[in-house]
Amino acid sequence: MNVRLSYSTELDEVPSKVAEMLQKPDRLLSKNGNKLDLIVDLLHESNGKYTATVVDMLDELRLALSQADQELMECQQILEGYVKATAPPEPAPAPIPQPAPPAQGKRLKDIPRGKDAVTYPDSTPLDEMIAAAAMATGELPTLEDEDV
């Protein structure tokens, strides 16, 4: 069973402590580096005679690689924390612009609602043209008239 140990050290000592920690996975990888070559040779030359032994050797190799990987991951995590701790502080974020104060004039409570929300002028340009035509001719144009 693996357990995690933690202890304190000075920040500037972290790289050297990690270098010491990396020696163990380095030894594991060096010790098992040629094992895969040996496994391949056994399979080629034995015509299946040592297959059970190869299975055991592969299992041992995988366990050693897994242990080395775990220790490498821990070293990486420690160094990532070190990089964050020693990085220059990020500049303060720019202030969030405040919304402009409402324009002078109508306020929301002054805006009409309901049936009073839409108002129509007493006359439109079309109404004015019809009225002018009626005054000039004495009658209102109809849609059947071609002069309209």
Between 105 and 45, the more confident residue is 45
Give the chain's radius of gyration (CA, Å).
44
Phi, psi of 136 (to 5 degrees): -75, -40
pLDDT of residue 142: 60
Task: Work out the average pLDDT over 98-120.
Answer: 69
pLDDT of residue 85: 92
CA separation (Å) from 146 to 141, 142, 143? 9, 9, 8
pLDDT of residue 99: 80
pLDDT of residue 113: 73
Contacts with 57 (C-beta within 8 Å, 6 or more apart), sequence order: 35, 38, 39, 42
Task: Work out the average pLDDT over 128-137.
Answer: 72
| Lowest mean pLDDT segment, chosen from 27-36, 40-49, 81-90, 111-120 | 111-120
- Give the span between the Cα atoms of 67 and 73, in whole angstroms: 10
pLDDT confidence tier of residue 55, bands split at 50, 70 and 90: very high
What is the CB neighbour count within 10 angstroms for residue 21?
A: 15
- Give the span between the Cα atoms of 148 and 129, in whole angstroms: 10
What is the CB neighbour count within 10 angstroms for residue 126?
A: 8
Domain limits, the chain = 11-86, 112-137
- Give the span between the Cα atoms of 35 and 29, in whole angstroms: 10
Pick from 58, 76, 65, 57: nearest CA to 26: 65
Task: Work out the average pLDDT over 40-50.
Answer: 88
